[in-house]
């Protein structure tokens, strides 16, 4: 061992390869600053650390340290990158942590404490080892941890699992894992000004029923996201209202960055008994679709010119989630022939020009959802 510090930390040339995970408690500072009772603050953070530590231990993981309101953990058995079961356990651990929020948040609510919301990032790579304190505790350092931390801090939507490209490549090599879990390309995380690192969302195939998705996940998520995502909450409120009508099982997601246009589309369809949800933010629409577990009888209408994700990008992401999701482009651009060439599998019936005719629009929707 080579001693690099006289204040209680000792590095070595030793390293391992392993899966690491960051779990960040979202908005904890904002939540605790309003607490005038120190005991409530202790309960809040203790519940966070202890509940997650218990789950991590049950899946063979280890909590390495807590960095403010963030926990760093790793899964030692993944050092064997051929051990498929160890990687499945790591994924299931992260999913279990998300699932456990519901019962934990009920307990917090009884004590008049704010609910937990997490950002979870995972990656795989080389970890440098060090001993800290009295040299009896292991700590981990290195670029893999830095990347995983960067992925975590760049994630804008809580309560999802985001993985780095190295972890994705290993998971993608196991046939059972690719059968039981779906991966959504989230684009690149900017590590430096010149270097981007591919990231992916992950969810379990058919993990939740549609009723569970709507009735359990979104009411909690809506409360946790806060005022900075007011648009997203408004669309979820519309979602609850439309689903209560329950006229049929055919669902339509309308995406356009102009509210007036969305209002027009929705008014055209309101008498047909569809479950209709509208989004002016394409990224929020994508995150909503990611969380669905049932894609039957689902139609998404897309504008092309939108901020964040344009219609082409959103189409590609949606089809990577489930290729059976039906798409209808509605655009002011006169590019019908170009669209058919650019977008594989697209037909003329899936493209409409603005301004749209009500009868033509409703008939097109009927045909696509029949």
CATH number at residue 133: 3.30.70.1230
Task: State the residue range of the domain holding 84.
Answer: 9-204
Q: Report the half-sphere exposure of 237 (CA within 13 A, side-chain side).
A: 7
End-to-end CA distance of the chain: 69
What pLDDT was estimated at residue 155? 78
What pLDDT was estimated at residue 171? 95
Q: State whether 194 and 235 are in the same domain.
A: no
| Domain-located, residue 209 | no
What pLDDT was estimated at residue 187? 85
Q: State whether 165 and 305 are in the same domain.
A: no
Domain finish residue from 204, 236, 269: 204
What is the rounded CA–CA span in Å between residue 74 and residue 35? Answer: 32
Per-residue pLDDT of the chain (370 residues; tens, 9 = 90+): 333 344 455 555 567 889 999 999 988 887 787 777 788 888 888 889 999 999 999 999 999 888 878 999 989 999 988 999 999 999 999 999 998 988 888 888 888 888 888 999 999 988 877 765 554 456 777 888 888 999 988 877 788 899 999 999 999 999 999 999 999 888 888 877 778 888 999 988 854 333 344 344 334 334 334 443 444 444 444 444 443 344 468 999 999 988 889 989 999 998 898 999 999 998 899 989 998 888 999 999 999 888 777 888 888 888 888 888 999 999 887 777 777 776 777 888 898 988 899 999 999 999 999 8
Q: State whether 56 and 86 are in the same domain.
A: yes
Please count the structural domains in the chain. Answer: 2
What is the rounded CA–CA span in Å between residue 251 and residue 254? Answer: 10
Domain finish residue from 139, 172, 204: 204
Q: State whether 131 and 239 are in the same domain.
A: no
Residue 236's CATH number: 3.40.50.2300
Contact 164, 148 (CB under 8 A): yes
Q: State whether 29 and 82 are in the same domain.
A: yes
Burial class of residue 243 in the structure, from the number of CB atoms within 10 Å of its CB (0-12 exposed, 13-18 middle, 19+ buried): middle
Q: State whether 190 and 310 are in the same domain.
A: no
| Domain-located, residue 3 | no
| Domain-located, residue 72 | yes
Q: State whether 121 and 235 are in the same domain.
A: no
Q: State whether 198 and 233 are in the same domain.
A: no
Q: State whether 195 and 326 are in the same domain.
A: no
Domain finish residue from 204, 234, 251: 204
| Domain-located, residue 277 | yes
Q: State whether 172 and 290 are in the same domain.
A: no
Only one residue has tokens 């499945």, namely 88
Q: Which residue, 39, 41, 42, 71, is CA-closest to 57? A: 71
């Amino acid at each position: 061992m080579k001693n690099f510090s006289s204040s209680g930390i000792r590095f070595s040339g030793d390293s391992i390869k392993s899966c690491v995970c960051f779990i960040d408690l979202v908005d904890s500072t904002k939540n605790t600053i309003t607490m005038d009772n120190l005991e409530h603050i202790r309960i809040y953070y203790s519940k966070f650390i202890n509940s997650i530590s218990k789950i991590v231990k049950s899946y063979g993981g280890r909590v390495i340290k807590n960095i403010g309101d963030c926990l760093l953990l790793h899964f030692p058995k993944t050092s064997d990158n051929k051990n498929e079961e160890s990687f499945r356990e790591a994924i299931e651990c992260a999913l279990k942590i998300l699932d456990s929020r519901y019962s934990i948040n009920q307990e917090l609510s009884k004590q008049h404490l704010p609910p937990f919301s997490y950002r979870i990032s995972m990656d795989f790579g080389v970890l440098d080892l060090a001993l800290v304190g009295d040299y009896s505790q292991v700590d981990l350092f290195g670029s893999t941890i830095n990347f995983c931390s960067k992925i975590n801090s760049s994630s804008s939507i809580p309560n999802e699992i985001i993985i780095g490209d190295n972890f994705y490549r290993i998971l993608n090599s196991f046939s059972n894992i690719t059968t039981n879990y779906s991966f959504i390309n989230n684009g690149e995380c900017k590590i430096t000004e010149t270097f981007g690192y591919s990231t992916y969302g992950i969810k379990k195939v058919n993990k939740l029923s549609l009723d569970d998705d709507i009735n359990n996940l979104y009411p909690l998520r809506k409360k946790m996201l806060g005022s900075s995502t007011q648009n997203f909450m408004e669309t979820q409120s519309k979602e609850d209202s439309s689903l209560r009508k329950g006229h049929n099982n055919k669902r339509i997601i309308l995406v356009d960055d102009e509210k007036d246009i969305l209002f027009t589309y929705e008014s055209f369809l309101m008498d047909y008994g569809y479950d209709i949800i509208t989004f002016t933010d394409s990224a929020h629409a994508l995150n909503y679709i990611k969380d669905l577990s049932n894609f039957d009888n689902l139609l998404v209408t897309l504008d092309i010119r939108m901020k964040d994700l344009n219609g082409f990008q959103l189409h590609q992401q949606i089809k990577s989630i489930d290729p059976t999701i039906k798409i209808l482009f509605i655009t002011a651009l006169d590019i019908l022939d170009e669209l058919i060439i650019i977008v594989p599998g697209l037909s003329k019936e899936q493209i409409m020009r603005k301004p749209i005719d009500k009868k033509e629009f409703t008939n097109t929707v009927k045909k696509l959802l029949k």
